[in-house]
Structure 1
């Protein structure tokens, strides 16, 4: 496995990983009006906008996961279905924590959808602690969508 910056040429592959992972983890637990706007194209657009902050995990030259950090936030983490359980997610988390610390962040945070128990257990296993709930303001084509989430934090 190799971790590296994302390349513009792989946005379609990464968007597919994000879309499939989002459908798997969130489609059944988040409001249908949010699911309706989380299209494959919306994930492509978000990846394009965040490209400088995207790190990719690859195996044999093929992207199998990615993470995004922005400011003091561990913003996104997605791993392809076939690569789950291989340690890729933990490697991406560790890499993100190093990047955040190097940028001067003392306490990083992430938002975990309420009800995403699998992700919550994983973050806790990685040393993150649930600090409470918060409201995320999600940018959508129809405007800002307010979503209550579990806020996790970690001292770096």
Structure 2
């Protein structure tokens, strides 16, 4: 990790974030969620979702390249992705420190798809506590779909 900066995302960042989100989602979820959900996760959907959540999206750039992003919705770490070419380089840890700094003073939580073991290990290593499984509604272009998630929490108060 050379020169990492984490900034509020801008409209001009939407295409890069949407591509990273699309690619990262398929890398992490395509084998563990329903085929119906996988089929709905097309590039256009990620572009639309990125634009809809832009006000709460933070972009990580490493030497000017898009390395990752995260989205906060209230007390929830709603999305968290590191680009494949930057995984294993400490980017995720730096991004998580930024998340926790932003959410300081709150009881934070996140949803992790059951079976996404790599992400779960990272969250646990970062001090997030797995509280159990629950059904979570994910947004799609055709309406909400249910997925089973592990709920992680961290008291940042």
TM-score normalised by structure 2 residue count: 0.94
What runs of 5+ residues in structure 2 fail to find an aligned partner?
A: none
The correspondence of residues 39-78 of structure 1 with structure 2, limited to 5 A, is: 39-78=42-81
Count of aligned pairs between the two proteins: 153
1:95-151 deviations in Å (ceiling 9; x for gaps): 1111112xx42x110000000110000000000010011111112222221111000
SS of equivalent to 1:143: coil
Does 2:34 match 1:31?
Answer: yes
**Offset at residue 155 of structure 1 (A):** 0.7
Report if aligned partners of 2:45, 2:141 keep a CA contact under 8 Å in 1.
Answer: no
SS of equivalent to 2:61: strand
Does 2:110 match 1:110?
Answer: yes
Q: Distance in 2 between matches of 1:5 and 1:26?
A: 26
Structure 1 runs of 4+ aligned residues shifted over 2 Å read none
SS of equivalent to 1:140: coil
**Offset at residue 59 of structure 1 (A):** 1.4
Calculate the aligned-residue CA RMSD, in Å. 1.0
What runs of 5+ residues in structure 1 fail to find an aligned partner?
A: none
Structure 1 residue aligned with 2:131: 131
TM-score normalised by structure 1 residue count: 0.94
1:8-50 deviations in Å (ceiling 9; x for gaps): 1121111111111111110011100001111111111111011
